[in-house]
A and B are shown apart, each in its own frame.
Chain A
Amino acid sequence: MATLTTHPDCVPLISYRFGKGATSIDRYIELEGYESARKALAMGPDAIINEVKASNLRGRGGAGFPTGLKWSFVPKQSAKPKYVLVNGDESEPGTCKDRLIFEHDPHSVIEGVIIAGLAIQAKMGFIYLRGEYRYLLKIMERAVEEAYAKGFLGKNIFGSGIDFDIVTQTGAGAYEVGEESALMESLEGKRGVPRIRPPFPAVVGLYGGPTIINNAETIATVPHILRIGAAEYAKIGTERNGGTRLFCLSGHLNRPGVYELPMGYNLKKMIYEVGGGIPGGRKLKAVVPGGSSTPVLLPEEIDIGMDFDQVGKAGSMLGSGGVVVLDETVCMVEFALRTMKFYQHESCGWCIPCREGTDWLKKSLTRLHAGGAVDKDIDNIRYLAENMLGRTFCPLGDAAAMPTIGFVKKFRKEFEDHLEGRGCPYHHAREERVALV
């Protein structure tokens, strides 16, 4: 249903089997499927981890943590069983990429899990999809069955003498469950409330056992790294940012869509060439570069390479690869409000600053957008956000605070235009734009 969009600059690596019927295992095998898993078996744990380290692969879930390094934290010896956990909760607004992988190349995820399992000597893996992705669960369940039938899963996989099982399941609607420790709680049948860290999952994770948790795209990338070799893979990207990633272009673009581009690809080009620029020749107003949690960038700030370090330098984050483009017709207060409405709705409620902070920010922004605010409310909004930042139990609080601070800082004037009963000056503009869409 959902499909990849392409552009001459795209590098089909993760997407190299998309649209080629690879959902069927036989076709997948024809397309070099499960060869990386066989390689991995031959390589052994340390070699696998070193290969992944060498590839400069960084987590695609948002934080961009070096994957090989994360795997190397798992203790070799462990009394409790170890687990591999695939985070397919994909719920960050602006992000719709993992979905494509599950839909078009489910076996690459399975193969990735097997390789990760071999790397840390786990016997079991879990693939957790967000509840809304029920149709993908069917696809994954079928793929897993096929893999069992072929002897790639279950007892003595690939005749190696090693056993490995995979369980797939969905959540039931909760953004916070994408947070790694909350996801483990959810997988253990509990409320999606994160855990106190340390200990970190690599040491004490699922069912108390050492666990690596990776984003679906991260995991699906691993077989490709072994396929083409870490060196090759690293070459594609930029320094410390290996390979490609699926960028989700959305918002006011002529050609929104999910594109596979090299890490470090220029954001401006991404918008004007890959994404086809802004409809109706309207002006660019702002870009949210990595999903709703990442601070907004102004048009003059977008001439940067899209990798974790460069976007970081620009004062935002690469995040989950969701590039949201806003044209001049957008009311930034309304946008900030809608963003906050999301976090208020998704806060798990465990800790005070996030539970109450998102609620009060939503209320204040609502009033501001409706024209019911006075000047000190703008400072107050910033005050609330700044006092959430770094004070919450898990990063959701930060994810709500950072963009808000960005909006107030970079669009204060626009906030002020709403004051003292003036209300939103953007209504008609919005109507025009909608008419255009």
Chain B
Amino acid sequence: MADVTFTVDGKKLTAPAGTLLIEACRAHGIEIPAFCYYPGLSLQAACRMCVVRLEKVPKLQTACTTPVAEGMVVTTESPEIAQARKATIELLLGNHPLDCPVCDAGGECELQDMTFKYGAAESKFVEIKQHREEQQWSPVVYFDRPRCILCYRCVRVCGEGMDVWALGIQNRGSGAVIAPNKQDHLECEECGMCIDICPVGALTSGTYRYKTRPWEMSHVGTVCTHCGDGCKTTLGVRRSNDGMEIVRGDNRDKSGINGDFLCIKGRYGFDFANHADRLTQPLIRQADGKFKPVAWEEAIEYAGKRLREIRDAKGGSAIGVIGSNRTTNEESYLLQKFARTVLHTNNVDHHRTADYPAFAAAMKGREEASLRDFGTAKAVLLLGGDPTEQHPGLAWQIRTGVRLHGTRLYAANHELIKMRRQATSFLQIGEGDYAALIAYLAGDNSALDGNGKASAFRDAIRQEESLLVVFGSEFRGGEMDAIVRFASSLPHAKFTCLGDYVNSRGAADMGLYPDYLPGYVPVTASGSFAEEYGGTLPQKPGLDLVQMFDGAARGEIQAMYIVGSNPVSRYGIDPASLRDTFIVAQDLFLTETAQLASVVFPAADLYEKSGTVTSTFGDLQLVRKAADKAGTRTDFELIVRLAAAMGAEVKKLVPFGPGGVRADFGQARGAQSGEADRHGVWLAAHHLEPKLSPFDPYAIFDEIQRLIPAYDISRLDLMAGNDQHVRSGLVQIRNAGERRDLVLPSNDTLFTSGTLGRYSTMLHSVLEAREPAETAAD
């Protein structure tokens, strides 16, 4: 819209016509106080805090409902206005418990700030305040009624934002109150948005309430460790007797690709880190078959020695390596490098949750969509998948687009997924009809019985100028190719392939495959890598995950190095078949897989390390060390030390020390790690110059950028904490269509998260709380 010019407090400002005064002012650094106004949510004009004076208008007006107009003259601060705001606060405080000293929001409370600013110190009222007992509405949500100022933010974010509509307003007048959908409790997606958006301490969370004071925490922005959306989360951490513990997760500053959104996993699912079963000591299996806690040195020396023996005796092909969907890019990269250069094997794989090689092959340099794009998309085509359950961040972005930018959503699915409620057009198809659907969309009328709906669906899509195409794990190999080819007939199409875990995409990009090196370079053509790594790399494609276990059962695979992965339960491996395999497992917990290991290393989780991860959208983000757990080591460090124990030359594995390394010197490793000292000791012991730690992931990121064109992004922006989109256009890959399909979707829901989720008390209690309701439902 055309710009208009108007005057605020004597300053001439311009903004697009129709912009709300409150927004226009904020954009120019003029803060107008407001409780009920919240960007992106419907207008209320209920709190009356944003009143301003418009020239030639008799009454004060609410800036949150006044669109700027040409020549408008506005006063935002004056004795009259201050008095109006003061009076409003006095009224609010009249019945407010003022229990700030124990209130979660104390120190972060908008009511406190306003009171401080406009001063309503002495109370005009002598009547006693009405006390109401605090209510627990769900494992996550608590409600403290007297603190509520009725700004209706929670009601709106739950309804308009989440499309859950679980909160309402009941009674009227001074009896008005926020009410949960099940009378005395909530049945919802437990996202905690209502808590985060509450300007006071009326809504508090089961994890955080009464746990700490805001100023006791330090805040570290990092990436959620759960699903493949890669939401940014700001973790509040504080000292605990075994390191740094996480007490809160939110994204209030709205930085990051997810705005202020987080789902229950991102917001509360960090508690697995403090689970009693967390491993904090290395274990070695004894002759009697029992595990014995041992010192780090002993465990590493032992594991290194055995692996070396097996490699030297049987060759690398007798060893298998399984990587993780939750470790950083640097760790996955390092793991495959370790496998190929130290173990001399291509037997490398991971639990595949999406067919990324096929996707890369299909893309042939076309553009990939960032999660950001969905918030403002013109049109989205959602094929398969259930974002609400499996990609909550994406679901949020799509809803935002639909709500605020009129995004047209076309969804086709065999289930009646919830997102159909946002859909301009929803097409239900048979479970096996996805390939047919693509063929149909591509123009083959015989593919689907062209019921009117399908053709209307297709016609509408063909009208779209620019389209974001998202497909779920229902699509594999050749089908992806078909989708991409079809959608590429539209002027501007971007694509997203949905995979499950925080770094599933990274694991693929970093070459945790038997047949691909990092960047999907075939092992059969390892040119640049061979050079960089020095010496020759195994040329023959190795065994994939399933083949490795078959091999183990046949005794051909004698050792396995399993990092942050639980294939035994995932793929239902028969424990007996691994009886004679020497397994080194590193993980957070004694998983079904770790239980079969000979050596177990306690590993740090994603919140306890630094590095980068790549979301399923190809959004590359910085992971910052927030928490710290005594007795654990990062996977990165463990790989390096294992290599050293095997007699490998560490300098070759991690280019550290003097000599043109472009890495930053580990500053980004997070404040309270204490790693430095540990390294100091280790470095000294190995006569290494403690210039740059060999445990510094950025040393290897350097190499990643050098070798994988797609990762050649602005390092400066990345380090500054800005998400960068990998340049998937640069990926060179020959058609990967005919590879064996090993994709095994995790089928996680909003409240599960693979093995990790099993150790989250919060996710558990929510599932339990829902049991009755769920069973009652059917």
Contacts and interface: CB of A to CB of B under 8 A. Distances in A.
Chain A directly contacts chain B within the complex, with at least one CB pair under 8 Å = yes
Interface of A: 174, 176, 191-192, 196, 344-353, 355-360, 363-364, 367, 380, 383-384, 387, 390-393
Interface string B52-63: 000000111000
B231 to A, nearest CB: 33
A313 B568 CA distance: 88
B94 interface: yes
A383 B94 CA distance: 14
A363 B94 CA distance: 11
Nearest to B90: A387
A383 B47 contact: no
Contact of A367 (B127, B171, B172): B127
Contact of A348 (B60, B91, B95, B172): B172
Nearest to A357: B91
Nearest to B171: A349
Given A196-B45, A360-B124, A367-B126, 9 more contacts: A192-B172, A346-B173, A351-B45, A352-B47, A355-B176, A357-B91, A359-B95, A363-B125, A391-B88
A384 B88 CA distance: 10
B172 A363 contact: no
Given A355-B173, A360-B125, A349 B45 contact: no
B65 interface: yes
A358 B65 contact: no
A387 B87 contact: yes
Nearest to A392: B48
B46 A350 contact: yes
Given A363-B125, A387-B87, A393-B45, A352 B92 contact: yes
Given A352-B46, A357-B91, A387 B169 contact: no
Contacts of A367: 126-127
B175 interface: yes
B173 A359 contact: yes
A390 B62 CA distance: 12
Interface string B157-182: 00000000000010111111000000
Main secondary structure of the interface of B (DSSP, over half): loop
A198 to B, nearest CB: 9
A193 B175 CA distance: 14
Contact of B172 (A191, A383, A390, A391): A191
Contacts of B92: 352, 356
B173 A393 contact: no
Contacts of B84: 387, 391
B102 interface: no
Given A353-B91, A387-B83, A345 B173 contact: yes
Contact of B173 (A358, A360, A363, A364): A358
Contacts of A360: 91, 94, 124-125, 127
Contact of A356 (B59, B169, B174): B174
B43 interface: yes
Pick the 6 closest A-B CB pairs, nearest first.
A349-B176, A356-B91, A387-B87, A359-B174, A347-B173, A349-B173
Interface in B64-114: 65, 83-84, 87-88, 91-92, 94-95
A91 to B, nearest CB: 14
B150 interface: yes
Nearest to B58: A390
A360 B124 CA distance: 10
B606 interface: no
Contact of B174 (A176, A349, A383, A391): A349
Contact of A347 (B43, B48, B95, B174): B174
Nearest to A389: B59
Contacts of A353: 48, 87-88, 91
Interface string B108-142: 00000000000000001111000000000000000
Contacts of B95: 356, 359
Nearest to B152: A350
Contacts of B125: 360, 363-364
A351 B48 contact: yes
A290 to B, nearest CB: 21
B51 interface: yes
Given A356-B92, A358-B174, A359-B173, A393 B124 contact: no
B149 interface: yes
A359 B174 CA distance: 6
Contacts of B175: 349
A351 B48 CA distance: 7
A390 B60 contact: yes
Contacts of B48: 351-353, 391-393
A351 B46 contact: yes
Contacts of A191: 169, 172
Contacts of B91: 352-353, 356-357, 360, 384
A128 to B, nearest CB: 18
Given A353-B88, A360-B94, A393 B46 contact: yes
A352 B150 contact: yes
* From A176, A351, A358, A383, residue with most partner B Cβ within 10 Å: A351
Contacts of B171: 349
* From A358, A364, A391, residue with most partner B Cβ within 10 Å: A391
* From A176, A359, A383, residue with most partner B Cβ within 10 Å: A359
Contacts of A392: 48
Interface in B1-56: 43-48, 51
Contacts of B174: 344, 347, 349, 355-356, 358-359
26 contacts: A174-B172, A191-B169, A192-B172, A196-B65, A348-B173, A348-B176, A349-B173, A351-B48, A355-B174, A355-B176, A356-B174, A357-B91, A359-B173, A359-B174, A360-B91, A360-B127, A363-B127, A367-B127, A384-B87, A384-B124, A387-B87, A391-B60, A391-B87, A391-B88, A392-B48, A393-B45
